[in-house]
Amino acid sequence: MRYKSEVAKQLHSVLPELSIETIESLLEKPKHEQHGDLAFPCFELAKTMRKAPAQIAAALAENLDADIFTKTEAVGPYVNFFLNRNIVSKDIIAIVLEEKEAYGSHTNGIGKTMVIDYSSPNIAKPFSMGHLRSTVIGNSLKQIGEKCGYQVVGINYIGDWGTQFGKLITAYHKWGEEDKVKQHPIKELFRLYVRFHEEVKEHPELENEGRAWFKKLEDGDKEALKLWTWFRSESLQEFSRIYDLLGVKFDSFNGEAFYNDKMDKMAEFLEQKGLLTESEGAQVVMLEDEQMPPCLISKSDGATLYATRDLAAAMYRQGMYKFDRALYVVGGEQSLHFQQIFSVLRKMGYKWVDGMTHVPFGLILKDGKKMSTRKGRVILLEEVIAEAIALAKKNIEEKNPALANKDEVARQVGVGAILFHDLKNERIHNIEFSLEQMLKFEGETGPYVQYTYARACSLLRKAAYEPQEASALTDDNSWSIIKLLEAFPNVVATAFARYEPSHIAKYVLDLAQAFNKYYGHVRILEEDAEKSARLALVYAVTVVLQEGLRLLGVDSPSEM
């Protein structure tokens, strides 16, 4: 809270032994509104002052006096502070009206660069629900990073290399037909990929054929390269359509293949620094001191591995972007891999590795199980998006058939439902896939927040409101909203510090619920002395709801 520091300064004047920062960290929000707006617990002081916490609280409450709060009271071991609603409400609304969409911004990232590696689907496979989490979490962190002043580079590290392409080429030669692939590229390539893994159970020699074809691909074989290039081109077209639907953009599509000519140099660097060790014919970097298994750099046949490529990618990105932070929005099952990568870079003596972070997330499960492209247990994201948009369109036709731009609003609401359903959950948790839950248009959902925004915009249109000078509002319903508006900059900072978009999602839900309660209890458009102040509050809500949704990658239709 903006006013935490003011209250902390007042407490510091009577508790000079505690720093303002320490006091601010101890201040908390009371569970019940009747206990004020901020509370200071006195348990810690009891140890040094050798008094009961309740005694300390009573003494502090008597000695505090400032314009910023109207009352202080001791309740047991707590000092409760009641902020001056006149001052705070006018101040907060004025700031939002002045700063508009810039409200909640921070400057700590100005002059710094952050790269985010996210989405990164494999080519020749359909874009499934399993790819959704990395895509939407990464996209949201990109917006939040920019809000905090960083220049953010979004990287889609496409999975366009590896032994799976040897398997796919083998499958295409055995069972593929050119016309079928041309007609439905991704669908047909996916069918071949699944068939390979079914056939290999009966014919294990297929694994060797797949490995051989990948080696040919690595060695530049014309037939292998021709097929790989075709598969890649078709896949990128498919992905672009999905990203356009989701409203997700990238600054770089340099995938795994981009680093092919940088792999040998990476191995040379490691050799020069004396970090490579031979183990059973393979080249590894030992990580015994870090209590981790060795990091494999190349296999006994000379083929490179993911680690080599990720090391080369990190080196390239630092050289290219001079990043201060680098985020890898990749599933939690890859945690050991990234610990190894960061440890190897540290052993190489690179200080910039301290700015690199793996941002893990849980899985989207189907019937409690992980989705698997090998087994064909996959839900196609495009089909889910289409169904969500169709449901949104149906709702619009029923409730507001005269709405202009129905198709565009249906897209915004349908896609918003999917994105919000993911981002309202803490990223580390698994999510059970449920189309019914995802597409609900009431409760804790994206469409609920969007509808709240549209409702507020409708009020402003009816009143022909133009932003003007802010006035104070002191009633309980207004105060609940004002405290939430005041908290927005801190929510943004916390979401960035923890790389946790769910903080933003939960915040906009709280703000939407507080506004709807306000709407139900207050006659906003009534002609009286406070009408302009109420409309200014409504306008401030639209500004912050729209900006909060934008940070999640969700659109805000002004009519629904």
Q: What is the pLDDT of residue 163?
A: 87
- Contacts with 545 (C-beta within 8 Å, 6 or more apart), sequence order: 449, 452, 453, 456, 508, 511, 512, 515, 556
Buried b (16+ CB within 10 A) or exposed e, 285-303: bebeeeeeebbbbbeeeeb
Confidence at residue 437, expressed as pLDDT on a 0 to 100 scale: 76
Q: Express each pLDDT in 253-269 by its tens digit.
A: 999 999 989 988 999 99
- Cα-flanking dihedrals φ and ψ of residue 453, to 5°? -60, -45
Q: Give Cβ neighbours of residue 501 (< 8 Å, ≥ 6 apart).
A: 137, 140, 141, 144, 423, 427, 495, 551, 552
Contacts of 254 (CB under 8 A, 6+ apart): 155, 157, 158, 313
Question: How far apart are the C-alpha atoms of 513 and 289, rounded to whole Å?
Answer: 52
Domain range list for the chain: 4-83, 159-237, 400-551
CA 373 – CA 376 distance, rounded (Å): 5
CA 416 centroid distance within chain: 14
| Distance of alpha carbon 105 from alpha carbon 403, whole angstroms | 34
pLDDT, position 468 = 85
Token output for 387: 């169904």
pLDDT of 303 reads 63
Residues 6+ apart with CB under 8 A from 461: none
> Residue 399 and residue 447: Cα distance in Å, rounded?
14
Helix (H) or strand (E) holding 75: strand 69-75
Q: How far is the CA of 442 from the CAs of 421, 513, 558, in angstroms?
A: 12, 11, 18
Superfamily of domain 4-83: Arginyl tRNA synthetase N-terminal domain (3.30.1360.70)
Residue 141 CA from chain centroid, whole number: 4
* Architecture, CATH, for domain 400-551: Orthogonal Bundle (1.10)
Mean pLDDT in each 10-residue stretch from start to end of the chain (560 residues)? 86 94 94 93 92 96 88 95 95 96 97 98 86 96 98 97 92 95 89 94 95 92 96 90 94 94 91 93 94 91 80 98 98 96 97 98 85 66 91 91 94 95 95 77 90 97 92 94 96 98 98 97 96 97 98 97
Count CB neighbours of 42 within 10 A. 24
Q: What is the dihedral of CA 140, 144, 150, 154, to 10 degrees?
A: 0
